[in-house]
């Protein structure tokens, strides 16, 4: 009979190394997977871990994909530390993109660059509003935020569909479900000519510092985390659980909305039904692989971005399905959970009728 | 022939050797005490006898035959029954249903109910099988557990700290039952750290300290001091208790009424008492009589009280948040240390921030250095055994964490300190230190309210006593004028007749 026994003192070093261990496990399983698919494992692995680093263009693409993951992941980490389970960042991301598009569509030929600021603010506000619905229902009706936030993703998808198939459809777009391409003034400034990486990446990296300060140096951040770790202690201390709920959801929703605005006005430059690319869900994995720590999330967002790009490369160069990205993401999360479990517990084989000394 | 014999039982846990070559001999019809502090290894030993834990070494003999007790079912089959310190009863079911659910056989419920009534009558345990458990007092719930154990006609009954939840009168009732059982030939293992009870009840006593047997004595021939020497290696420290010089009332509770929260909460009715500067008021009572509800209302965790039902230095604070009350000088030590008084996973330095604002700057930024310095100061001043301010709260022993939490609140220089169960599960040395600190705080002019189930503790520290029972609070009585019998009677809610002439 296999049993899990709690370890008396889980190794601290191991719990920090756990994501690396999980990555190693993922790579090994990936090698086996490539071999089973009849592809050269070394080449397959290169698609995921070598090619995305080759040249300025590849690095820029890495940053482009990492930007939304990092922004959303930071917000979610704060949320999860407060024990608020927002898993609907995807919907908040879509609402951010919609709100940003609404601002962008108001631009005319004479509009100044200031509109980018308004567009980003609108994006953040859109994500916040979508998350505020979750907070309101939890606060007033005690509705489970996991279910509500997830279901609102699908509502957001429908809303997006209505807009791009209906009122916001580009009249000159050959009836494709998409808005006009954004005017030059409404686009996020790029960092280098010819590369898609834009100011959003800089903002996301700066956000890492801001979140670190908030979580580990601000009293407000401390209160939020106490509420997540020990609700009774938070009540005893007098830290408001309602404020923690609202802060966690508004911040994570705002970050997801901001990511949506950067995405739609950055690499995409128009609103299409393909805006929801799964960043909101992948960012959940990013947050946990990054140990809910801002600096960890910086690395895990880059890692997850590798998987996105690797999946695309595997599709175009090896003829493998793009869903390999999802497989790798899932493998990574699964390996991480397994590593964490084994760091906190040991597996013991125990025959049913053991001698007394064996227990 | 001995009923039960343990020979050289050892059990090693990853961090601690819980039992180190422990031997124990229990004769039929004898009441055998196992005495020791928290952490001395009593519980592990009982779990080994009951089959819940396997020993690493040693032998267990039952009726002279070596046996291997692999699980509680096998223990029950041998005739071993156990009454645990924490009851496992379903609140919403009746007494008979609860007992019936625990039976292995397929007897009909009415038969079981009849049998319960018979056993209860035979042992003088007043118990109605048809009553729902949530209407029972704690003492009555314990009777359910005892009757449940007796239905199996045990030949060895193990009781784990059975009196910690009982009034003095109920303790005498329990002892009468146990003596009757022993006279009928049942052996009893009685686990306790209360010296008076063991000397009163038990025929034989095995003392444990640090997992080893430190004494095998006849308790009737020992004194509390000699038993204490065996148990903790020293005599119990004596408290210096100067006369109190109370000042103005700091906490005034008047007409506090709160409807209960949840189906099994306790409703507070017309609660009134006062605590003055420079005195310690002790609140006695069996747990589950409204202490939790009252504490939450006083601390601000439950802000439903009418504003003027609770006055702090004259100001109506009934609706204030815990933070606002704390800023006004009310500090509170809750009975749960881990998870309420402290966040288990956070460091001591971070746990300081739960109730102390000194390390937080005006803009809301935490000074990590100042928080650590404050925690270090508490560790030194209150002799907390901890590696340092960065140690996680959960890594401390119960007594040391309690010293840290009590210290954190005392160090804040409160005008009113409310402490719930200050020495629960705390070793004797730490308990004496905590009581000494409370008295020192009183002498410095602070108003102190101590809520405890331990009557000895209350008589030791309190200047005045009140009793809480069924959501009501008795009039106050000077501790010097009170007797345990009187307080015990009040713990059952019987002060109404006396209250007419007692000064409130």
* Residue found by looking up tokens 């029954």 in the block: B81
| Burial class of residue B432, CB neighbours in 10 A (0-12, 13-18, 19+) | middle
Candidates B354, B355, B365; nearest CB to A218: B365
Which residues does A contribute to its contact with B (CB < 8 Å)?
7-9, 217-220, 222, 226, 229-230, 232-233, 235-238, 240, 353, 356-357, 359
pTM of the model: 0.81
For residue B175 the two structure tokens come to 């002892």
CB contact under 8 A, A233 and B342: yes
User: How near does any CA of chain B get to the CA of A240, in Å?
Assistant: 9
Rounded alpha-carbon distances, angstroms, from residue B354 to B339, B342, B372, B393, B494: 12, 8, 13, 12, 39
**Cα gap A340→A328, rounded to integer Å:** 18
Pairing of strands B80-83, B204-209: unpaired
Q: Which CA distances in Å does B62 have to B6, B10, B186, B197, B263?
A: 9, 18, 14, 27, 45
Alpha-carbon distance of B213 to A314, in angstroms, equals: 69
Cβ-nearest to B54 among A218, A237, A359: A359
* Chain A positions in Cβ-Cβ contact with residue B15 (cut-off 8 Å): 8
Cβ-based contacts of B336 with chain A (< 8 Å): 232
Of the given ranges (A255-259, A336-340, B63-67, B259-263), which has the lowest mean pLDDT?
A: B259-263
Nearest neighbour of A233 by CB, restricted to B70, B343, B366: B343
Residue in chain B closest to A230 (alpha carbons) equals B339
CA-to-CA distance for B325 and B319, rounded, in angstroms?
10
User: Inter-chain contact A232–B340, Cβ cutoff 8 Å?
Assistant: yes
Tokens encoding B255 = 């007409």
Q: Nearest by CB to B360, from A219, A235, A237: name it.
A: A219
Length of chain B: 504
CA gap A78, A208 in Å, rounded? 12
Best residue in B9, B317, B354, B372 for a mutation probing chain A (most A CBs within 10 Å): B354
Measured between beta carbons, the chain B residues lying within 8 angstroms of A7 are 14
Q: If you average pLDDT over residues B290-319, what whole number do you get?
A: 94
For residue A344, the distance in angstroms to the closest alpha carbon of chain B comes to: 14
CA atoms of A155 and A161, how far apart (whole Å): 10
The mean predicted confidence, pLDDT, of chain B is 89
CB B147 within 8 A of CB B120: yes
- Are B339 and A232 within 8 A, CB to CB? yes
Nearest residue in chain A measured CA to CA from B69: A356
R_g of chain B, CA atoms, integer Å? 24
* CA angle at A336 for the pair A333 and A340, rounded to the nearest 5°: 140
Residue A232: its chain B contacts at CB < 8 A?
A: 336, 339-340
Give, in order, the Cα–Cα distances in Å from B304 to each of B60, B256, B259, B272, B311.
56, 10, 9, 16, 14
* B321 contacts A238? CB cut-off 8 A: yes
Residues of B within 8 A of A357 (CB-CB) are 56-57
Question: Which residue of A210, A239, A356 to mutate against B (max B Cβ within 10 Å)?
Answer: A356
CA dist A344 and A14 (Å) reads: 10
CA–CA dist A1, A3 (Å, integer):
6
Residue A267 gets which letter from DSSP?
I
Q: Which of B334, B341, B333, B328 is nearest to B251 (CA)?
A: B328
Read off the pLDDT band of B237 (50, 70, 90): low
ipTM over 0.90: no
- Rounded to the nearest angstrom, the minimum Cα separation between A264 and chain B is 35
In chain B, the residue whose alpha carbon lies closest to the alpha carbon of A214 is B365
Please give the torsion angle defined by the CA atoms of residues B473, B478, B479 and B484, in that order, rounded to the nearest 10 degrees. -60
Q: Regarding predicted confidence, which is higher, B476 or B193?
A: B476
* Cross-chain residue pair A235–B350, CB shorter than 8 Å: no
| CB-CB neighbors (< 8 A) of A229 in chain B | 343-346
Which domains can be identified in chain B, with CATH numbers? 4-232 (3.40.50.300), 237-329+414-504 (3.40.50.300), 341-412 (no CATH)
pLDDT given for residue B504 in this prediction: 43
Give residues with Cβ within 8 angstroms of B314, minimum separation 6: B252
Q: Which of A31, A72, A84 is nearest to A278 (CA)?
A: A72
Fill in the DSSP letter of residue B220: G
CA dihedral for B251, B255, B259, B260, sign (positive or negative): positive
Put simply, the answer to whether A356 touches B355 (Cβ < 8 Å) is no
Q: Chain A: give the shortest CA distance to residue B364, in Å.
A: 5
DSSP per-residue letters across B367-378 = -HHHHHHHHHHH
- Residues of chain A short of pLDDT 70, as ranges, are 8-9, 350-359
CA A7 to chain centre: 31
Query: Which DSSP state fits A211?
Result: H
Contact predicate B279/B417, CB 8 Å: no
Q: Among all residues of chain A, which has the CA nearest to that of B365? A: A218
User: 10 Å Cβ neighbour count for B395?
Assistant: 14
- Position B466 scores a pLDDT of 96
State which residue of chain A sits closest to B16, comparing Cα positions. Answer: A8
**Which residues from B are below 8 Å from A238, CB to CB?**
300, 321-324, 326
Instruction: Round to whole Å and give the CA distance between A345 and A325.
Output: 30
pLDDT at residue B88 tops 60:
yes
User: Least CB-CB distance to A222: which of B299, B326, B366?
Assistant: B366
For an interface test with A, give the residue of B298, B340, B349, B371 to mutate (most A CBs within 10 A).
B340
CA distance A228 to chain B (A): 10
**Cβ-based neighbour number of residue A114 at 10 Å:** 9
**Are B268 and B297 in contact, with CB atoms under 8 Å apart?**
yes
Q: Which phi-psi region, left, alpha or beta, contains residue B54 (left: φ > 0; alpha: ψ -120 to 50)?
A: beta
How many beta-carbon pairs below 8 A join chains A and B? 72
Domain boundaries, chain A: 2-352
Helices (H) and strands (E) in chain A, counts: 13, 2
Contacts 24+ apart (CB under 8 A), B303-306: B304/B258, B305/B256, B305/B258, B306/B255, B306/B256, B306/B257
CATH number corresponding to A2-352: 1.10.3470
DSSP per position, B245-283 = ---SEEEEEEEEEEPPSSTT---EEEEEEEEETT-EEEE
Q: How far apart are CA B214 and CA B20, in angstroms?
A: 11
Binary contact (A238, B368; C-beta < 8 A): no
Helices assigned H by DSSP within A55-142: 55-81, 89-104, 115-141
Instruction: Look at residue B503 in the predicted model and tell me its pLDDT.
Output: 47
Q: Quick one: how far is CA A183 from the chain centroid? A: 28
Phi, psi of B31 (to 5 degrees): -100, 115
> Cβ contacts (< 8 Å) between B67 and chain A: which residues?
none
Contact B324 A229 (CB under 8 A): no
Task: Confirm if A189 and A267 have CB atoms less than 8 A apart.
Answer: no
Residues written for chain A? 359
Contact A356 B56 (CB under 8 A): yes
Please report residues of B whose CB lies closer than 8 A to that of A8.
13-15
**Is B12 buried (19+), middle (13-18) or exposed (0-12) by CB count in 10 A?**
middle
Q: How far apart are CA A268 and CA B84, in angstroms?
A: 66
Cα angle: A339, vertex A345, A351; to 5 degrees: 120
Mean pLDDT, rounded, for B161-180: 85
Contact A236 B15 (CB under 8 A): no
Residue of B nearest to A229 (CA): B343
Q: Is the pLDDT of residue B164 over 80?
A: no
CA atoms of B298 and B338, how far apart (whole Å): 20
- Note whether B354 contacts A359, CB cutoff 8 Å: no
Instruction: Report chain B residues touching chain A, CB-CB < 8 A.
Output: 13-15, 53-57, 68, 70, 299-301, 321-324, 326, 332, 334, 336, 339-346, 350, 353-355, 360, 364-366, 368
Specify the range with the lowest mean pLDDT, choosing from B63-77, B389-403, B421-435. B421-435
Which H or E run contains B7?
Answer: strand B4-12
What pLDDT score does A8 carry?
A: 65
Confidence of residue B438 (pLDDT cuts 50, 70, 90): very high
Residue B340: closest C-alpha in chain A: A233
- Both tokens of B457, joined, read 């503790």
Q: How far apart are CA B6 and CA B23, in angstroms?
A: 5
**pLDDT attached to residue B240:** 63
Q: With a cut of 80, say whether residue B235 has pLDDT above it.
A: no
Here the tokens at position A209 are 């510092």
Tokens of A340: 């964490």
**Rounded Cα distance, B96 and A218, in Å:** 55
Place of tokens 């000394």: A357
Q: Is there a contact between B366 and A218 if contact means CB atoms under 8 Å apart?
A: yes
At residue B463's C-alpha, the angle toward residues B461 and B468, to 5°, is: 85
């Amino acid at each position: 009979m296999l049993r899990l026994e709690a370890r008396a003192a889980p190794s601290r070093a191991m719990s920090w190394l756990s994501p690396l261990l999980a990555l190693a496990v993922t790579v090994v399983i990936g090698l086996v997977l490539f071999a089973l698919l009849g592809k050269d494992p070394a080449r397959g692995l290169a698609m995921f871990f070598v090619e995305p680093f080759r040249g300025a263009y590849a690095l820029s693409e890495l940053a482009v994909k990492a930007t939304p993951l990092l922004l959303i992941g930071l917000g979610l980490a704060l949320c999860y530390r407060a024990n608020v389970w927002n898993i609907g960042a995807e919907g908040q991301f879509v609402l951010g993109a919609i709100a940003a598009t609404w601002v962008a569509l108001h631009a005319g030929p004479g509009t100044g660059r200031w509109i980018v600021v308004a567009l980003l603010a609108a994006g953040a506000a859109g994500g916040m509003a979508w998350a505020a619905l979750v907070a309101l229902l939890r606060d007033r009706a005690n509705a489970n935020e996991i279910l509500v936030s997830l279901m609102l993703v699908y509502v957001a998808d429908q809303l997006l569909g209505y807009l791009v198939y209906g009122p916001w459809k580009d009249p000159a777009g050959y009836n494709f479900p998409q808005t006009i391409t954004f005017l030059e003034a409404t686009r996020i400034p790029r960092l280098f000519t010819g590369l898609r990486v834009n100011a959003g990446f800089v903002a996301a990296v700066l956000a890492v510092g801001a979140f670190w300060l908030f979580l580990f140096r601000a009293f407000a951040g401390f209160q939020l985390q106490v509420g997540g770790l020990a609700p009774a202690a938070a009540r005893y201390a007098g830290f408001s659980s309602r404020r923690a709920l609202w802060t966690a959801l508004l911040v994570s929703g705002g970050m997801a909305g901001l990511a949506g605005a950067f995405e739609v006005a950055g690499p995409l430059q128009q609103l299409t039904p393909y805006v929801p690319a799964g960043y909101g869900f992948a960012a959940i994995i990013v947050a946990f692989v990054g140990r809910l720590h801002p600096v960890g999330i910086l690395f895990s967002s880059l890692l997850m971005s590798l998987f996105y790009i690797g999946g695309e490369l595997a599709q175009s160069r090896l003829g493998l399905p793009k869903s390999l990205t999802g497989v790798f993401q899932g493998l990574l999360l699964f390996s991480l959970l397994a590593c964490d479990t084994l760091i906190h517990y040991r597996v013991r084989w125990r025959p049913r009728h053991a001698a007394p000394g064996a227990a | 022939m001995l009923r039960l014999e343990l020979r050289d039982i050892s059990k090693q846990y990853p961090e601690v050797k819980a039992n180190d070559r422990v031997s124990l001999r229990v004769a039929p019809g004898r009441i055998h005490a196992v005495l020791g502090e928290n952490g001395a290894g009593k519980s592990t030993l009982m779990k080994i006898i009951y089959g819940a834990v396997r020993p690493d070494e040693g032998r267990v003999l039952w009726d002279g035959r070596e046996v291997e007790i692999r699980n509680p079912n096998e223990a029950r089959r041998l005739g071993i029954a156990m009454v645990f310190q924490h009851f496992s009863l379903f609140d919403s079911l009746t007494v008979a249903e609860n007992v019936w659910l625990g039976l292995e056989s397929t007897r009909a419920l009415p038969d079981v109910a009849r049998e319960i009534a018979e056993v209860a009558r035979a042992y003088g345990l007043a118990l109605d099988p048809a009553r729902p458990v949530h209407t029972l007092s704690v003492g009555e719930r314990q009777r359910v557990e005892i009757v449940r154990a007796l239905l199996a006609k045990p030949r060895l009954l193990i009781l784990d700290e059975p009196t910690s939840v009982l009034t003095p009168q109920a303790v005498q009732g329990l002892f009468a039952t146990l003596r009757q059982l022993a006279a009928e030939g049942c052996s009893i293992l009685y686990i306790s750290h209360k010296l008076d009870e063991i000397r009163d009840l038990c025929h034989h006593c095995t003392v444990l300290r640090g997992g080893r047997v430190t004494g095998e004595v006849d308790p009737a021939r020992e004194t509390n001091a000699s038993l204490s020497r065996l148990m903790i290696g020293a005599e119990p420290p004596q408290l210096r208790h100067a006369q109190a010089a109370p000042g103005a009332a700091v906490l005034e509770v008047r007409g506090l009424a709160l409807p209960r929260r949840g189906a099994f909460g306790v409703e507070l009715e017309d609660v009134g008492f006062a605590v003055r500067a420079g005195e310690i008021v002790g609140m006695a009572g069996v747990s589950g009589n409204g202490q939790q509800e009252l504490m939450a209302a006083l601390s601000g965790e439950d802000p439903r009280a009418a504003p003027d039902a609770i006055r702090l230095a004259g100001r109506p604070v009934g609706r204030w948040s815990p933070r606002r009350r704390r800023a006004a000088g009310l500090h509170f030590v809750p009975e749960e240390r881990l998870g309420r008084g402290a966040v288990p996973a956070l460091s001591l330095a971070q746990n300081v921030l739960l109730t102390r604002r000194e390390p937080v700057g005006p803009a809301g930024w935490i000074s990590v250095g100042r928080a650590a310095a404050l925690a270090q100061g508490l560790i030194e001043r209150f002799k907390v055994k901890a590696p340092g301010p960065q140690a996680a709260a959960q890594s401390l022993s119960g007594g040391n964490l309690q010293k840290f939490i009590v210290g954190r609140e005392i160090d804040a220089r409160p005008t009113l300190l409310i402490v719930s169960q200050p020495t629960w599960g705390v070793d004797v040395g730490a308990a004496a230190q905590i009581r000494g600190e409370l008295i020192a705080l009183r002498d410095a002019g602070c108003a102190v309210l101590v809520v405890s189930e331990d009557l000895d503790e209350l008589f030791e520290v309190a200047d005045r006593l009140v009793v809480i029972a069924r959501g009501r609070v008795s009039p106050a009585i000077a501790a010097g004028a009170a007797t345990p019998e009187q307080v015990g009677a009040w713990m059952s809610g019987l002060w109404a007749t006396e209250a007419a002439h007692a000064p409130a």
